[in-house]
Amino acid sequence: MFMSKKIIIGNWKMNPSSLMQAEDLFKSIQKNIFSKIKTDIIICPPNIYLPSFAKTLAGKEKLKKIFLGAQNVSYEEKGAYTGEISVEMLKDIGVKYVIIGHSERRSPPTGGGENNSDINKKIKMVLSFNLIPILCIGEKERDKSHEYLNFIKKQIEECLKNVAKSFISKIIIAYEPIWAIGKASVREASPEEFREMSIFIRKILSDKFGAKSIKKIKIIYGGSVNSRNVSDFLKEGGADGFLVGRNSLDPKKFGEIIEVCEA
């Protein structure tokens, strides 16, 4: 589905290494945002930088298309959970979006080995506080027997288990094939591959929640996103937007991606 309004998410991961660098990067990205921009820009920095960014955005009309997102959240509301951050804490400082189920969070040991059940609980917790979950899904490899389709189906069904039909349109689905991301990527995915997967995802969601309920849901692409391939993913792949990793740390390259979406 080719929709006029796109969404671009910058996932900074564990970068940069100081608040000063983070603020400089955030200011540089702001320079590429103009008042009549249609695209929604979501910046997901490390949690420690979120309060500073929230102050920067407060009351600035020009920056109303920039939103803050978190890279992770606990599925517990409060309590003795060392090192965790709750959705209520995130909401209190102005966060609107939360990335959930990123492949780096699913992978042990550094990511903690989150499973679909953990992700399901996080999604329901985020929705209960009226924040928007960005659900990441994606297969490790494209096998010739097409078993990866069953893998994606299982991810969706288990991650969205018992999510109310009335909430489903608020969820953003980020399809990010693991074989196409990071330094170890095998190759880039093609727009045609994304379009096929997007149709498949919508079919699963339609069967589960009904065609009417998923009409407004956004399916975005992540995986070696750059200014050279976004146009094809928009026009040929029908992407509703992008989850950008490495290039979100480069204001010039990130700005070019925004420009293509606007055009």
Q: Is the pLDDT at 88 greater than 60, yes or no?
A: yes
Q: What is the mean pLDDT of residues 174-195?
A: 89
Q: What is the mean pLDDT of residues 99-116?
A: 89
Q: Residues, the chain, total? A: 263
pLDDT 10s digits, 97-106: 999 999 999 9
Q: For residue 196, what pLDDT is reported?
A: 96
pLDDT tier, 35 (very low <50, low <70, confident <90, very high otherwise): low
Distance (Å, whole) CA 66 – CA 8: 10
Q: Indicate the pTM of the whole model.
A: 0.95
Q: What is the mean pLDDT of residues 14-38?
A: 90
Q: For residue 184, what pLDDT is reported?
A: 67
Average pLDDT, the chain: 93
Among the four given CATH numbers 3.40.30.10, 3.20.20.70, 3.10.180.10, 3.10.450.200, the one describing domain 7-262: 3.20.20.70
- Please give the positions annotated as active site: 102, 176
Q: For residue 102, what pLDDT is reported?
A: 96
Q: Within a 13 Å sphere around the CA of 28, how many CA atoms are in the beta-carbon half? A: 15
Q: H or E segment at 98?
A: strand 97-100
Distance (Å, whole) CA 152 – CA 159: 10
Q: For residue 124, what pLDDT is reported?
A: 98
Domain locations along the chain: 7-262
Q: For residue 64, what pLDDT is reported?
A: 80
pLDDT tier, 2 (very low <50, low <70, confident <90, very high otherwise): very low
pLDDT 10s digits, 42-72: 999 999 999 999 999 987 776 788 999 999 9
* Best CA proximity match to 64, nearest among 18, 33, 20: 33
DSSP state at residue 171? P
Q: For residue 194, what pLDDT is reported?
A: 97
Distance (Å, whole) CA 226 – CA 180: 13
Q: For residue 63, what pLDDT is reported?
A: 76
